[in-house]
Amino acid sequence: MGASILRLPQVKSKTGLGRSTIYNLIAEGNFPKQIKISARSSGWLESEVQEWINSRVAERDSEVG
């Protein structure tokens, strides 16, 4: 099973968040941490980013009731 890795532009596109917001959320412990791809690059596991998005939807839906 291969895991897909997203780079920052893809994460920004997928979440609609800006760079600063993403890094602030990581610092607060409210967004998935990056993984190191090489000495000078890192990315996020697509599955973790999708889980984060799904949790935002679930949070919204639980507030509607």
Q: What residue ranges define each of the domains in the chain, with the CATH number in brackets?
A: 5-64 (1.10.238)
Nearest to 30 by CA among 48, 43, 13: 48
pTM, entire model: 0.89
CA trace torsion 59, 63, 64, 65 (10° rounding): 110
Cα Rg of the chain, angstroms: 13
Q: What is the pLDDT of residue 65?
A: 58
- Mean pLDDT per 10-residue segment, the chain (65 residues): 91 98 98 97 98 96 78
